[in-house]
Structure 1
Amino acid sequence: MVPEGVSLGYARACTRDHDLESQRQQLIAAGCYDVYADQGKPGATVVRPELDACLRAMQPGNTLVVTQLDRLGRTVRGLAELLDTLKERKIAFRSLAEGIDTTTMQGRMMFGIIASVAEMERELIRERTMAGLGAATGKGGRPPRLQPHDVREARRLREHEEWSLDRIAEKFEVSRSTIIRALRQDGLAGDGYAGKKPAISPRETTRGQSAQNPGSGPNIPG
């Protein structure tokens, strides 16, 4: 059983990180009764058995200490949830690098800021999810590859800059057929676009019409 009122340190580093011992020394110097440490592989699924053991050992009145916030988690949301759990268990928290100490007024204020940022992160994720679902529902299950402002720019490049369809497709990182469909849906033929013949590149000649018969080809030049 961990004595009441003591601090427990937690350190974490990846296998290629050599600062695990440095973290231990900092935590001991900060007055930690014991130090738990995890060492894992970068990019792997986060498994932290020593952190779990540390949290199980802690009692109300204890303090969890880390050298910096990112030792506890990779996201603001995950960190805020862990700090909430500590608060509910009446366990204090300190982060040496950021100067956070929830036993002080300033530390509690910083905790509130972290919680607010986490809430904002959750709202942004929720909004993006809903926007994605709405776009997918309205467009037969897939959002459009080109947004309206992209189509307007593609039209400008085609009409005024005389870019080839291949070059426009490369700019927007889509297929040539996507550009053609977008321009047709934008009503270019209705605006008299079909009568305009921008310069045709050699690649477009082989795809759309032969050099011997320049009048043949699709409605949209290219």
Structure 2
Amino acid sequence: MKLVGYARVSTVEQNLDLQVAALKAAECSEIFTDHGLSGADFQRPGLRKALRQLKVGDMLVVWRLDRLGRSLVDLITTVNGLSRRGCDFRSLTESIDTSSSSGRLVFHMMAAMAEFERAIISERTKAGMAAARARGSRIGRRPAMTDAQTCAAWRAVEIDLEPISEVAARYEVHPKTLARVLREARID
């Protein structure tokens, strides 16, 4: 049996070292990675390569269940697909090993709990955002330009006929951002 490891981090700032070290300690003969890719997206190059390496009797190993994926449906589909191919799955942190019937049961229970937790977090986040809006707080990114800057930029582009690229550089925004801000402001 060959152990094939898979590690993933969602953002470029995150580091794969902890996961890779754990997979090496678990004696994975090959380790495939995806850096800066969401677990919600199952079209990941490293994951595809890892899955292609698996033969009958092999095992896919991840450091933690959520490194394989975020969606319960996708996790179960992937692990069931491995099973149909005669391969097993192991998650080191949750001690899940589908080479046994109890491991398969634990996998399904853990996956359901993980999805439930994400749903609760999402609901709390949405409720918090709604409460902030009700208090009058602005949600999201800070505007690229103030109202005064927008008016001055509009005058420069529309009245003084300055090139939008020069005006954008003056306000340290991209020309497309300036064009969008001016469109949204609809200054007359």
- Which residue matches 1:55? 51
Seq. identity, %: 38
- Which residue matches 2:12? 15
Query: CA offsets, 1:2-38, max 9 Å, x none?
Result: xxx11000000121212x0111110000010110001
CA 1:53–1:42: 2 relative to 1, 3 Å: closer
Alignment of 1:114-153 (within 5 A): 117=112
Kept after mapping to 2: 8 A contact 1:9/1:65:
yes
Alignment of 1:96-115 (within 5 A): 96-113=92-109
Aligned counterpart in structure 2 of residue 35 of structure 1, from 31, 35, 40: 31
Query: CA offsets, 1:85-105, max 9 Å, x none?
Result: 011001011001111001133
Kept after mapping to 1: 8 A contact 2:39/2:66:
no
The aligned amino acid for 1:102 is: T
SS at match of 1:51: helix
* 1:110 Cα deviation after fit: 1.4
For the aligned residues, what is the CA RMSD?
2.7
Q: Which has the higher contact order (CA 8 A, sep 6+)?
A: 2
- Which residue matches 2:139? none
Number of matched residues? 116
Q: TM-score, normalised by structure 2?
A: 0.55
- Which structure 2 residue ranges, 5 or more long, are not aligned? 117-133, 136-188
Which structure has the larger Rg?
1
Kept after mapping to 2: 8 A contact 1:76/1:114:
no
CA 1:23–1:43: 2 relative to 1, 3 Å: closer
CA 1:21–1:94: 2 relative to 1, 3 Å: same
For 2:40 and 2:89, the matched residues in 1 are separated by: 26
- Which structure 1 residue ranges, 5 or more long, are not aligned? 122-169, 172-222
